[in-house]
Amino acid sequence: MSKNECRQVKTGPALLLLLGACPALALSTTALSAVTAGAFLLAVTLLTSVTMALLKGLVAKEIKLAASVLVATGYTVLLRLAVGAWLPDFYYAHGDMVLYLNAIAVSPFVYRQAEHATENGFGKTVAESLLAGVCFLVSIVVVGAVREILGAATVFGKELTFMKDYTIALAQKPFGGFVVLALVAAVANIIRPNKCMDCKKGA
């Protein structure tokens, strides 16, 4: 694992830096909505990073953030239109969640990856963005699954009968989102990889 790739895992943007906490909270009421949000963010991150990597020579340091915002916003709108038109079941599966997908356009998580992209080559950018996106996806799905289990005694819509009498409705409310995210982040801090040689050398 390279230094930067190791950093993606070690600093786990969603759980350790708490980047993208907005979608992580707003879009993680259930495991399935978390998968949708995670996949959407992964796609926007990947496309934005790749585009910024391709524009590396043109985008000056001063306008890096502005350019990232424009590119990320553009891809968010394009993806939302495409998914709305050709994947309607996916698009409408979670009710009002569609509104929150727009928030991904202003996610610091995307900008962070876009910033790295302007410092790296194309291949490295793809690898890093994929890894960061997948880490985010896994994190948000875990948060979503925990909230769904605690709040509705289901996971991915499947009923967990043994939990039926122990549900905590608060888990699916915003406050519950904060608590579950904090708990998952705490666990991630305990078990995160710390034996990466490259990281030890100075990551």
Partner 1 sequence: MAKILKNTAVLLAIVLVFSAAILGLNHVASPIIDQNEAARATGALAVVLPGGTTFEALDLTTLSDIPATVTAIHKESADKGYVVELSTTSQYSAGPLTFLMGVDASGNIAGISITNYQESLKMKDEFPAHLVGQNSTLANVDMTLAAGTTFTATAFKNAVADAFAALSANGLVAEAKKSDAQVLKELAPSLFSGLAKNGNLDVTELAVSGNIELALKANSGVGFAYVMKNGESSVLVLVNNGLATKAYGVDGAECTIPEALVQEAVEFTKANLTQVDTAKFSSMMEGATVTAGNMDGVFSTVAGVYDITAGGKNYTGIISKLTGFDAMTVYYILDENGAIAAMDADEFIFLESDFVEYGGFAGLNRKTYKEGFVGMTEDTVADEAILIAKATMTSNAMKTATNDIFAAFKTVKGGA
Q: Nearest distance from residue 53's CB to partner 1, in Å?
A: 14
Instruction: With beta carbons less than 8 A apart as the criterion, state whether 114 and 72 touch.
Output: yes
Instruction: With beta carbons less than 8 A apart as the criterion, state whether 34 and 144 touch.
Output: yes
Q: Which is nearer to partner 1, 7 or 80 (CB)?
A: 80
Q: Nearest distance from residue 46's CB to partner 1, in Å?
A: 16
Work out which of 54, 92, 102, 193 binds partner 1, going by CB under 8 A.
92
Q: Write the CB contacts of 32 (distance below 8 Å, at least 6 apart in sequence).
A: 93, 94, 144, 156, 157
The span from the CA of 151 to the CA of 59, in Å, is 46
Q: Nearest distance from residue 120's CB to partner 1, in Å?
A: 19
Residues in 14-43 at the binding interface with partner 1, rule: CB under 8 A: none
Q: Nearest distance from residue 85's CB to partner 1, in Å?
A: 4
Instruction: With beta carbons less than 8 A apart as the criterion, state whether 19 and 103 touch.
Output: no
Residues in 54-83 at the binding interface with partner 1, rule: CB under 8 A: 55, 58-60, 62-63, 66-67, 70-71, 73-75, 77-78, 81-82
Residue 155, classed as helix, strand or coil, is: strand
Instruction: With beta carbons less than 8 A apart as the criterion, state whether 110 and 45 touch.
Output: yes
Residues in 111-170 at the binding interface with partner 1, rule: CB under 8 A: 169
Residues near partner 1 (CB under 8 A), total: 24
Q: Which is nearer to partner 1, 78 or 186 (CB)?
A: 78
The span from the CA of 155 to the CA of 124, in Å, is 35
The vertex-151 CA angle with 90 and 144, nearest 5°, equals 45
Q: Which is nearer to partner 1, 169 or 186 (CB)?
A: 169
Q: Nearest distance from residue 88's CB to partner 1, in Å?
A: 4
Task: Count helices and strands (H / E) in the chain.
Answer: 10, 2
Q: Which is nearer to partner 1, 62 or 165 (CB)?
A: 62
Looking at residue 160, the DSSP 8-state letter turns out to be: -
Residues that bind partner 1 (CB under 8 A): 55, 58-60, 62-63, 66-67, 70-71, 73-75, 77-78, 81-82, 84-86, 88, 91-92, 169
